[in-house]
Amino acid sequence: MRRDVKDAIAGAAGSPPVRLAPLGGGCIGEVYRAELADGRALVAKVGGPGSGLAVEGFMLQYLADNSALPVPAVVHADDSLLLMTLIETSGGITAAVQTHAADLVAALHDVTADTFGLEHDTVIGGLHQPNTPTASWLEFFRDQRLLYMGHEALDAGRLPGSLMSRLETFAGRLDRWLAEPEHPSLIHGDMWTGNVLSRDGRIAGFIDPAIYYADPEIELAFSNLFGTFGEPFFARYTEHRPLAPGFFEERRDLYNLYPLLVHVRLFGGSYVGSVESTLARFGC
């Protein structure tokens, strides 16, 4: 570990690190467990100009200030260094953890705003995520999610032009499958297994958010895309917030086009085929 990083942690935390150990995860910079001389254990993310760490700190603080979702407390945040309290974990995402998660996520989705988006652009997987406040969810989802990320993937050479044309056709037909939600809901925005921390059969915390106000179904869809949450989660969630018919049959796959496009932009590969299959399923 470079001396300047140790000095930065000491200056931001008010106590020098006596031990640093690498941690897995995180799309932005290096991640460490920092044990300080004063006895605290923090998570340190190290980046640089334009890394997005300051935005990550903003998002965690926004969730702490505007919801009851358990997240790490932010000690310091700028693009070179993000310091957060450490959340200790044990065990995986069991049925009991899913049930607890459903209570927390349903309460998060009860936090509302006047428009979709956010007053601040955010990041997802290290990628810029625009959030210009918009009165219409269909317009926001079309322009700032599907078309924006599709063009990002196209410009990166990972999405074929022919598939982008099909995505544009699909995006122009969203009203065939989607209706405007009753109101915008605050979402975590990146709810997959690596960002869900558990301990002793309960949720310990959520990390690495990509927040904005949305149709909450886009969160539910992503939580199911890679098998993070399943039947125990949805059974409890719908006790709090019933789902309109058609979510599992159509809207789940439709909404998962966005995280799939994020993965195409980041990785390409088999995710391109997943986007193609989804578009074909919806006749595009």
216-251: per-residue pLDDT in tens? 999 999 999 999 999 999 999 999 999 999 999 999
- 81 CA to centre of own chain: 20
Report percent pLDDT > 70 for the chain.
98
Report percent pLDDT > 90 for the chain.
90
Q: What is the pLDDT of residues 25-45, one digit of tens each?
A: 655 668 999 999 999 999 999
- Residue range 170-189: mean pLDDT, rounded: 97
Which two three-digit tokens encode residue 277? 């299959």
> What is the spatial distance between Cα 132 and Cα 241, in angstroms, rounded to a whole number?
27
Q: Is the pLDDT of residue 91 over 90?
A: no
- List the domain range (segments joined by +) for residue 245: 95-281
In the set 190, 208, 215, 253, the catalytic residue is: 190
Q: Which of 85, 112, 128 is the last residue of a domain?
A: 85
Q: What is the pLDDT of residues 141-168, one digit of tens each?
A: 999 999 999 999 999 999 999 999 999 9
- Residue range 172-191: mean pLDDT, rounded: 97
Q: Which of 32, 51, 85 is the last residue of a domain?
A: 85
Q: What is the pLDDT of residues 48-79, one digit of tens each?
A: 888 899 999 999 999 999 999 999 999 999 99
> What is the spatial distance between Cα 111 and Cα 213, in angstroms, rounded to a whole number?
9
Q: Is the pLDDT of residue 95 over 80?
A: yes
The reply to whether 90 falls in a domain is no
Choose the most confident range, by mean pLDDT, from 4-8, 25-29, 176-180: 176-180
126 and 27 in contact (C-beta within 8 Å)? Answer: yes
Question: What pLDDT is attached to residue 24?
Answer: 72
Same domain membership, residue 12 and residue 129:
no
- Residue range 82-109: mean pLDDT, rounded: 96
195 and 229 in contact (C-beta within 8 Å)? Answer: no
How many other β-carbons are positioned within 10 Å of the β-carbon of residue 75? 19
Question: What pLDDT is attached to residue 27?
Answer: 58
| CATH at 61 | 3.30.200.20
184 and 114 in contact (C-beta within 8 Å)? Answer: yes
Longest dimension (CA), the chain: 60
- Residue range 98-116: mean pLDDT, rounded: 98
By the 10 Å C-beta count (0-12 exposed, 13-18 middle, 19+ buried), 110 is classed as middle
Confidence class of residue 22 from pLDDT cuts 50, 70 and 90? confident
- Residue range 187-195: mean pLDDT, rounded: 96
**Residue 103 a catalytic site member:** no
How many other β-carbons are positioned within 10 Å of the β-carbon of residue 50? 9
> What is the spatial distance between Cα 146 and Cα 161, in angstroms, rounded to a whole number?
15
Q: Which of 23, 50, 85 is the last residue of a domain?
A: 85
What is the total count of domains within the chain?
A: 2
